[in-house]
Amino acid sequence: MTDERRNEQELEALFAAARRDAPTPSADLMARVLADAEAAQAQAQAAPAARPTRPAARPRWRQVVDLLGGWPAMAGLATAGVAGLWLGVAPPAALLDLPLAGFGTADPALVGMLPGVELDLLALEEG
């Protein structure tokens, strides 16, 4: 018998011994694996019901409110708007004494840069 053939046979005898020596899973391992399997199944079955639903789409006006900073910011914005309207319709006398009151006639270039002011002043003059 050649060395190569002898080596092959001896190695095969070792492999055969290893095949016969396959470890048997312990009862504990089998129980753990099965418990994992059942847990995975339970999780998969529960998943569709437990999956968080997508929040309902918010109306466009709510998105704008949120964008501007929510209700507190809106309150400030509303106050400023009302105050502006009041100043425009019925300005206090003190306001007319401010240097700003003369913009409409004194410096056309500056008034051109502040179109709102120009309109307010026109309204005042007409009123």
**For binding to other proteins (CB under 8 A), which residues are involved?**
1, 6-8, 10-15, 17-26, 29-30, 32-34, 36-38, 40-41, 44-45
Q: Which is nearer to other proteins, 26 or 53 (CB)?
A: 26
Q: Which is nearer to other proteins, 19 or 51 (CB)?
A: 19
Q: Which is nearer to other proteins, 14 or 93 (CB)?
A: 14
Q: Which is nearer to other proteins, 32 or 62 (CB)?
A: 32
> Measuring CA to CA, how many Å separate 11 from each of 2, 3, 23?
14, 12, 20
Residue 68 CB, shortest distance to other proteins, in Å, is 44
**Tokens at 25, concatenated:** 């899973």
Following DSSP, what letter does each residue of 12-52 receive, concatenated? Answer: HHHHHHHHHTPPPPPHHHHHHHHHHHHHHHHHHHHHHHHSP
Closest by CA position to 88, among listed 125, 52, 61, 53: 125
Residue 45 CB, shortest distance to other proteins, in Å, is 5
